């Protein structure tokens, strides 16, 4: 109230009846995983399949899937593929593998990463497969995790590629891309797997890894992804992307 008795409170400005209504606040668009997977599946035949997927398609053999997955750890596909081919030319069963010396396996798989350690691990796994499982690879996640050198990534990949069983294999590509899409918000691959288990529709579990690995190697690369070539670019929020092509 002013000294002259009049209110000093501000009145709202007059609004013309012809003035356009203010736009409502933008709502965050839901990430459409169904449309994304549909588009990626259409585009995928033009990309190179991950080497473990290729071996699974060629052989349908859980043992070769398991061993090739171990070889692929910390190793590029262009090195893993020839190494697996050389090794399986010498031995493609646990029984035959145990007839090889560690040095023979090392020579066959060189230059995969940690080739000496992997040679010993392969022999150890083959012994366990013969002692506990009659030379067969188990299709149970918990049983696979008891094998030396086998973590969740390898075990889940054996289930999906070796047995066509629903499982979620999370590697660096799956972790990075799922977060780049904003589909999950996680700090590490284990947390990503748990989040995807809760959220990802079951019909995508088996091929989610090989689809995203091929996509990540070809288009959605870690640094400067090829957004101009991406079949899902307009659906992607590009979380964490600072530079793209």
Q: Tell me the catalytic residues.
A: 153, 171
Give, as one character, the DSSP assignment of residue 219: T
CA distances from 185 to 88, 143, 193, 195 (A): 40, 30, 11, 8
Taking the C-alpha atoms of residue 240 and residue 161, their distance in angstroms, rounded to an integer, is 31
Determine contact, residues 24/190, Cβ cutoff 8 Å: no
Give residue 167's Cα distance to chain centre.
11
Determine contact, residues 44/215, Cβ cutoff 8 Å: yes
Residues near 101 by beta carbon (within 8 Å), at least 6 away in sequence: none
Taking the C-alpha atoms of residue 106 and residue 73, their distance in angstroms, rounded to an integer, is 15
Residues near 44 by beta carbon (within 8 Å), at least 6 away in sequence: 211, 214, 215
Give, as one character, the DSSP assignment of residue 223: S
């Amino acid at each position: 109230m002013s000294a002259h008795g009049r209110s000093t409170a501000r009145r709202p400005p007059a609004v013309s009846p012809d003035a356009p209504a203010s736009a409502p606040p933008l709502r965050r668009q839901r990430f459409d995983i169904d449309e994304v997977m549909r588009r990626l599946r259409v585009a995928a035949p033009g990309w190179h399949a991950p080497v473990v997927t290729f071996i699974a398609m060629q052989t349908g053999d859980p043992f070769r899937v398991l061993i090739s997955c171990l070889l692929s750890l910390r190793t590029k596909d262009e090195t893993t593929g020839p190494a697996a081919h050389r090794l399986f030319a010498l031995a493609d069963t646990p029984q035959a593998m145990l007839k090889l010396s560690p040095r023979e396996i090392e020579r066959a798989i060189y230059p995969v990463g940690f080739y000496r350690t992997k040679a010993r691990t392969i022999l150890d796994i083959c012994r366990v497969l013969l002692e506990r499982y009659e030379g067969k690879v188990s299709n149970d996640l918990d049983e696979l995790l008891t094998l030396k050198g086998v973590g969740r990534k390898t075990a889940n990949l054996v289930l999906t590629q070796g047995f066509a069983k629903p499982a979620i294999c999370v590697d660096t590509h799956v972790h990075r891309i799922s977060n780049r899409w904003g589909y999950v918000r996680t700090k590490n691959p284990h947390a990503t797997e748990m989040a995807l288990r809760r959220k990802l529709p079951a019909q995508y579990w088996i091929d989610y890894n090989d689809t995203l690995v091929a996509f990540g190697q070809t288009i959605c690369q870690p640094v400067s992804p090829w957004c101009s070539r991406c079949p899902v670019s307009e659906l992607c929020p590009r979380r964490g992307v600072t530079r793209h092509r």
